[in-house]
Amino acid sequence: MAKSIFYHAGCPVCVSAEQDIINLIGESNVEVVHLGDDQTRITEAEKAGIKSVPALVTPNGNVLHINYGASLEDVKG
């Protein structure tokens, strides 16, 4: 199965959702990207359609915004 990508920014809501997603999907099936630590990937996240974090991009490219931690604008700082 192609990997999903989980984008987050280290917020409490993000960390909690990350654990839930890893438990549900399996750690080997999801790449975790911390946009606060790796701002070079913010553009990629925007192109995927992400508006807020945490968010999961599925293998077929759909975006699932999960709960609400922070807007992508806030992550850009």
Query: Interface residues with its own copies (CB under 8 A)?
Result: 4, 16-17, 20-21, 23-25, 29, 58-60, 62-68
Residue of 72, 62, 77 lying closest to 14 (CA atoms): 72
Residue placing its CB nearer to its own copies in the complex, 37 or 59: 59
Q: Min. distance of Cβ 73 from its own copies in angstroms?
A: 18
Between CA 11 and CA 70 the distance in angstroms is 8
Strands 30-34 and 52-57: unpaired
Compare residues 13 and 36 and give the one whose CB is closer to its own copies: 13
